Amino acid sequence: MTEAVLGIDIGTSGVRIAATSRDNRLLAMSAAPILAPLQNGGRIQQDPAIWWNALVEAFKGLDLSSLPIRAIAVDGTSGTILAIREDGSPAGLASMYNDVCEATQLALIAAVAPRETAALGSTSPLARAMEMRGAGSRILHQADWIVGELSGTYDVTDENNALKSGYDPVTRAWPDWIAKTGFDPSLFPRVVPAGTRIATIQPDMATQFGLSSDTAIVSGTTDGCAAFLASGASDPGDGVTSLGTTLTLKLLSDKPVFAPDFGIYSHRIGDQWLAGGASNTGGAAIGKFFSKDDLARLTPLLDPDHPTGLDYYPLPMPGERFPVNDPAFAPRLEPRPSDERVFFQAILEGIAHIEAEAYAKLGELGASRLASIRTAGGGASNPVWTKMRLRALGVPEKPSLSEHAAVGTARLAWRGIGHAN
- Structural contact between residues 193 and 221, judged by C-beta atoms closer than 8 angstroms: no
User: pLDDT value at position 35?
Assistant: 85
Q: What is the mean pLDDT of residues 108-137?
A: 93
CA 376, 377, 380, 381 torsion: positive or negative?
positive
CA distances from 307 to 339, 344, 384, 391, 392 (A): 14, 12, 12, 11, 11
Q: What is the DSSP string of 189-223?
A: PEEE-TT-EEEE--HHHHHHHT--TT-EEEEEEEH
CA distances from 120 to 108, 117, 405 (A): 10, 6, 26
Q: How far apart are CA 374 and CA 242, in angstroms?
A: 9
Q: What is the mean pLDDT of residues 41-66?
A: 94
User: pLDDT value at position 288?
Assistant: 96
Amino acid (1-letter code) at residue 37 = P
254-258, 296-300, 359-363, 376-380: least confidently modelled range: 376-380
- Structural contact between residues 77 and 8, judged by C-beta atoms closer than 8 angstroms: no
Q: What is the mean pLDDT of residues 263-276?
A: 95
- DSSP H/E element including 346: helix 340-364
Question: Rounded to a whole number, what is the largest CA-CA distance in the chain?
Answer: 69
- Structural contact between residues 245 and 282, judged by C-beta atoms closer than 8 angstroms: yes
- Structural contact between residues 12 and 35, judged by C-beta atoms closer than 8 angstroms: no
User: pLDDT value at position 379?
Assistant: 87
What tens digit of pLDDT does each residue of 386-401 get? 999 999 999 999 999 9
Q: How far apart are CA 92 and CA 110, in angstroms?
A: 27
Residues with Cβ within 8 Å of 297's Cβ and at least 6 positions away in sequence, in order, are none
Domains of the chain: residue spans and CATH: 4-227+404-416 (3.30.420.40), 234-393 (3.30.420.40)
Prediction pTM value: 0.94
**Of the candidates 261, 164, 231, 165, the residue with the CA atom closest to the CA atom of residue 399:** 231
pLDDT at 40 over 80: no
What tens digit of pLDDT does each residue of 67-102 get? 999 999 999 999 999 999 999 999 999 999 999 888
Confidence of residue 38 (pLDDT cuts 50, 70, 90): confident
Q: What is the mean pLDDT of residues 102-106?
A: 91
- Structural contact between residues 18 and 404, judged by C-beta atoms closer than 8 angstroms: yes
Q: How far apart are CA 161 and CA 119, in angstroms?
A: 11
Helices 340-364, 383-393: crossing angle, 10 deg rounding: 40
Percent of the chain with pLDDT over 90: 92
- Structural contact between residues 395 and 373, judged by C-beta atoms closer than 8 angstroms: yes
Strand 156-158 and strand 190-192: pairing?
Answer: parallel
Q: Is 211 exposed, middle or buried (0-12, 13-18, 19+ CB in 10 A)?
A: buried
Tell me the pLDDT of the chain averaged across its residues.
95
Q: How far apart are CA 197 and CA 357, in angstroms?
A: 39
**Of the candidates 68, 356, 157, 129, the residue with the CA atom closest to the CA atom of residue 239:** 356
Q: What is the mean pLDDT of residues 373-387?
A: 92
Q: Is 36 exposed, middle or buried (0-12, 13-18, 19+ CB in 10 A)?
A: exposed
Strand 26-33 and strand 247-253: pairing?
Answer: unpaired
396 in helix, strand or coil?
Answer: coil
CA 120, 125, 126, 130 torsion: positive or negative?
positive
Q: Is 239 exposed, middle or buried (0-12, 13-18, 19+ CB in 10 A)?
A: buried
Q: Is 111 exposed, middle or buried (0-12, 13-18, 19+ CB in 10 A)?
A: exposed
User: pLDDT value at position 1?
Assistant: 72
Q: Is 345 left (phi over 0), alpha (psi -120 to 50) or beta?
A: alpha
User: pLDDT value at position 335?
Assistant: 97
Amino acid (1-letter code) at residue 335 = P
pLDDT at 271 over 80: yes
